[in-house]
Amino acid sequence: MNNVLTTIFERNSCRNFSPAPLSSEHVEILVKAALAAPSAVNRQPWHIIAVTNKQLIEEMDGQILDDIKQNNPDWYNRMVERGGKIFYDAPCLIIIARDSSDYAVLDAGIVSQNIALAAHSIGLGNVICGMARGAFDGEKGEENKKRLGFPDGYVFGMSVCVGEAISGKEPHELDFNKVTYVK
């Protein structure tokens, strides 16, 4: 099997990161992988924000958890059972901010997949994290957008937590019941 397919089939969602920071070379590889993503009409409706400031990541993590605790106690309890962290102590959080164009949501998803596959291919654990959206809602959200340099008019698209995995796990089973072949 070729390297690309091996990466796709072996990648899994990591929820247990080492606190060790990523090298600047690793961050640069992930940013380049993000920028290499295809987009509708090559509009590239994104802005990539690579956050390695551990204090800022932890602050946003706490904001999101507090909001979940107030608004969705059942979901909060599930998060606590998973370690009580949104970003799982990842030393790097890559945020894909997007504009409001027609295909920007889809394009942000493609960018996040590029980052996740690139991370796995260089031996880093990762998890695509839509729950980061909570850090960009409401009054605190506007403040966070400014702190992180969101371009005017851009909103949260997706994020990927990246770091050295403490422990591994098997990728999910392929469910061929989700497939229809039309010949």
- Give the CATH number of the domain where residue 85 resides: 3.40.109.10
Closest to 89 in 3D by CA, of 166, 25, 175: 166
- 93 in a structural domain: yes
What is the per-residue pLDDT for 47? 98
The whole-angstrom distance between residue 123's C-alpha and the CA centroid of its chain comes to: 16
Q: pLDDT tens digit string along 94-141?
A: 999 999 999 999 999 999 999 999 999 999 999 999 999 999 998 899
What is the per-residue pLDDT for 139? 85
Instruction: Give the global pTM.
Output: 0.94
- 45 in a structural domain: yes
What is the per-residue pLDDT for 154? 98
What is the per-residue pLDDT for 75? 87
Average pLDDT over residues 56-63: 96
Give the percent of the chain with pLDDT over 90: 87
Number of CB atoms found within 10 A of residue 152's CB: 6
**For residue 25, what pLDDT band results from cuts at 50, 70 and 90?**
very high
- 68 in a structural domain: yes
- 115 in a structural domain: yes
- 131 in a structural domain: yes
- 179 in a structural domain: no
Q: Widest CA span of the chain, in angstroms?
A: 54
Give me the residue label for tokens 């070729």. 2
Quick check: 83 pLDDT over 90?
no
DSSP labels, 40-99: GGG---EEEEEE--HHHHHHHHHHHHHHHHHH-HHHHHHHHHTTS-SSTT-SEEEEEEE-
Q: pLDDT tens digit string along 139-161?
A: 899 999 999 999 999 999 999 99
Average pLDDT over residues 77-103: 94
- 102 in a structural domain: yes
Domain span at 141: 14-165
User: What residues have CB less than 8 Å from 20, skipping those under 6 apart?
Assistant: 91, 163, 164
- 33 in a structural domain: yes
- How many structural domains does the chain have? 1
Number of CB atoms found within 10 A of residue 21's CB: 14
